Structure 1
């Protein structure tokens, strides 16, 4: 089988072809078909359900590589992974096996949560499901859904209790081929600023009859299941964001090397070198946070509510910022469609912004983190952490534990990555410069936790200072992740990249 890197250099991924599709707002069908032929759908299915996925960092690595070539393709193809996760968490084993077989055969799966009038307010959803004989009847509209039109199967969140509330919603897996004609109508594609070729549309359900076997998990547990599923899908989103960062750095570096002004490549100019070095440090910082978060799915599942929220808030924001900084290196040429590499930089600048919105915006994820401030500050004071779980998520090539959906929780009792940081600092054997930076990270992290413990938050009145504190917590997390990963390398790499990573984090925290 052709390896993925070779496939991504093939005709289906030709930059000029993808640029034309983007301009015409056409779906990248050939590229998605090539990924099907490669076998990528098998990595969306856990091994226990017939696929080849054993560690979630596998699928994250593959999606990052695809996004590093074209983010629209990654978003379009990767949605099947996102659409199926609820079944992996709560579906009956037989239903999960059937879905796994369909996905491996090329079926596209979507996830319909949001609605036109309610956005990401899941408890405000108005799509209803009423008992009907031995099944259910669904009515209403889901909107702004990735692959809503192209998908064969759709995971739908619907209100099953007229009173609504946390136990008033249920998840259903709808198979379009089993619905009566007219029961599901796709709504028109929505023109978008980025990922222009993706199928961002919706579905309208009218007396859509489904059997009892369409229900995912217990009736009334839809909100709980989907929130746990989002903890997992957010790590796939950040992998795609990292791919955009890889692509941006690659394009900007090539532009700087190839562009000669006054007889000198731009890459030889100190100002451009600083921009590129800062972007590389930002990408390393984001990658450290993402690496630990995705491994936490199996290694630290009880803590995943904090790891996923931090990664989803932090990584896309870092990538958006580094792309903005790299625009300085390219100047106007990077944003001209007919110029550098078929306008690829301008395209990814538009595309990357959508990742920060998928599966909960930075604001939503920071609010989730703020809700857990007291628990996290108490855990910090206790100084206890999951030793084996932390070793798994920070050790390269460590075998992942079996996926345990039952261990997932909506809130956490701690964050091992940060609680173990003082001990990691004491174990550090390095230059005075590096150990000094690590000590400053510990001091900054201590200060952040003290502020978290002292912060008073009234219900429905989160102060702006709490969101700023959450951002600093994210930076401490990313820095700590970088330190742990460096310490657990069999033969630690040189200090230069870790120094740059920590300096960037400390600058963001405002530590002196």
Structure 2
């Protein structure tokens, strides 16, 4: 068995004293700012890299939600290791998106042999503006010549291979860039130079460095897709990587909640148990709600990648903007609970929390910051007003393809689109609310109908959004944020409606997790939530129970005892 549950057991075994995931070893790497080579080697040996390669190319990537679960397990132990190893999928995504079977087959062989792949998008001074890239690729008699720099890049030095976005038309523009898969070992000596590793606040051991090319010759078959297609390939690849890399946030949230649970059960304040203080219980319960809501959004997005990939330009932007934000808020709550113990090293193991918090801060900027992703969503809002149906043929209802045991269509990058014209999940919100209202305990639950009202109220503002050549206005960005909260609520309702067989199981019975998530959503929308304390108190009680060691909607994902 090689599924996520078995993998969690393997990683737990590696985490014993002397193992490649021994916390003392990982801490030493962090303090020395050295690469976690032992942990990455263990992941290679287990075959995690096979899950970065789609099945048609000989790999094991069949479902994005499974890859999310695997990366989440690693991140729950050490974010640096998860970032360093998982980067290969990000580096390869442009090739998978291109549909180039020959290049894809060659790349798959490298990845499954343990070769890391970097993704060279950003340049000094360019930030997230890909159109500002100045690294050039010029045709030569037998291929291309690359000149320029990419920085900062994860695995730029350690990675043998790098997919690089290069300017192939001096004028630039949307059709002026192409992607190249560069094998640095095959370039002439002196034409490729590694830029120094950059000191970073978080993920200190990761290879955050750069690479400079000086008339580096690459063969004609290094071109990914067609000339001038680079920007489109990158933007479509980002839809897949943004959907996947939120697993890093989920893992960070897993680790933080386990620390919080132990602290609440042990700590006494002014003669009382900390867990008996209402304020502490409310904070703990909201921390649980934030993680479970983030999980519901991430899970729905991974399923959408298979079921409605035409809508992933919106789904991935919402997911990457919201999930790290939810978890960062959760970490702030845990930080407040732990107090000084969260920052004093070697104090009852709680000092490790500081590493989780600072490591996670960088996750929000991977594959575009929250602001960048929200801006991408804002550009499509005018196409997403309530009631507008997607342009494609109607598919299965949301509550069918979000079932845990539902089969998924093969991942098909050719169906990805630059812009979508509908949102199947939110368009199904009315049906999901109706299903919720038919349940026995729903008579006292007004949260779902209030969410539906809030979503319908977006119709007017969304219809007034106009195309803009420049950055979206503050008003439109706030509208995009409200849309994200509505999407999150729909994801939670969809996951609940799709999995009635789980309603009597751990974390599901009584509907506490759904009530807590919808409470959080309505609060995010600025709506009054008078019963919030009760909802969060119930989640805190579950956290402190015997089931609280694994806060997840679908069972063990990380298996991190503290």
Same fold (TM over 0.5): yes
> For residues 174 and 42 of structure 2, what CA distance do their matches in structure 1 show?
41
TM-score (norm. length: structure 1)? 0.96
Task: Name the structure 2 match of 1:502.
Answer: 518
Task: Name the structure 1 match of 2:66.
Answer: 58
Map of 1:431-442 to 2, 5 A cutoff? 431-432=441-442, 435-442=445-452
For structure 2, list consecutive stretches of 5 or more residues without a partner in the other structure.
529-562
Judge conservation of contact 2:375–2:471 (CA < 8 Å) in 1.
no
Runs of 4+ in 1 over 6 A off after TM superposition: none
Cα deviation per residue 1:211-263 (whole Å; 9 max; x = unaligned)?
01101101110000000000000012211111111111111111222333455
> For residues 303 and 286 of structure 1, what CA distance do their matches in structure 2 show?
19
> For residues 119 and 356 of structure 2, what CA distance do their matches in structure 1 show?
24
Deviation at 1:279, TM superposition (A): 0.4
Using a 3 Å threshold, how does the CA distance of structure 1 residues 434 and 78 change in structure 2: closer, same or farther? farther
Task: Name the structure 2 match of 1:315.
Answer: 323
Map of 1:41-440 to 2, 5 A cutoff? 41-262=49-270, 264-341=272-349, 343-377=351-385, 380-382=387-389, 386-388=394-396, 390-391=398-399, 393-428=401-436, 429-430=438-439, 431-432=441-442, 435-440=445-450
> For residues 44 and 341 of structure 2, what CA distance do their matches in structure 1 show?
35
Map of 1:441-452 to 2, 5 A cutoff? 441-452=451-462
2:482 to 458, 466, 472: 472
> For residues 348 and 211 of structure 2, what CA distance do their matches in structure 1 show?
38
RMSD: 1.7
Judge conservation of contact 2:341–2:350 (CA < 8 Å) in 1.
no
Task: Indicate the SS of the match to 2:457.
Answer: helix
Cα deviation per residue 1:22-64 (whole Å; 9 max; x = unaligned)?
1111111101111111110010011110101111111111001
TM-score (norm. length: structure 2)? 0.88
> For residues 502 and 434 of structure 1, what CA distance do their matches in structure 2 show?
14
Cα deviation per residue 1:174-217 (whole Å; 9 max; x = unaligned)?
01121111111110001111101100000000111000110110
Using a 3 Å threshold, how does the CA distance of structure 1 residues 178 and 382 change in structure 2: closer, same or farther? closer
Deviation at 1:467, TM superposition (A): 1.4
Cα deviation per residue 1:348-373 (whole Å; 9 max; x = unaligned)?
10000111100011111111111111
Cα deviation per residue 1:388-425 (whole Å; 9 max; x = unaligned)?
27356411121110122211001001001101101221
> For residues 450 and 421 of structure 2, what CA distance do their matches in structure 1 show?
25
Task: Name the structure 1 match of 2:464.
Answer: 454
Task: Indicate the SS of the match to 1:12.
Answer: coil
Task: Name the structure 1 match of 2:533.
Answer: none
> For residues 180 and 390 of structure 2, what CA distance do their matches in structure 1 show?
42
Task: Name the structure 2 match of 1:7.
Answer: 10
Using a 3 Å threshold, how does the CA distance of structure 1 residues 461 and 43 change in structure 2: closer, same or farther? closer
Q: How many residues align?
A: 511
* Alignment of 1:482 onto 2:492: yes
For structure 1, list consecutive stretches of 5 or more residues without a partner in the other structure.
none
Judge conservation of contact 2:390–2:421 (CA < 8 Å) in 1.
no
Deviation at 1:464, TM superposition (A): 1.0
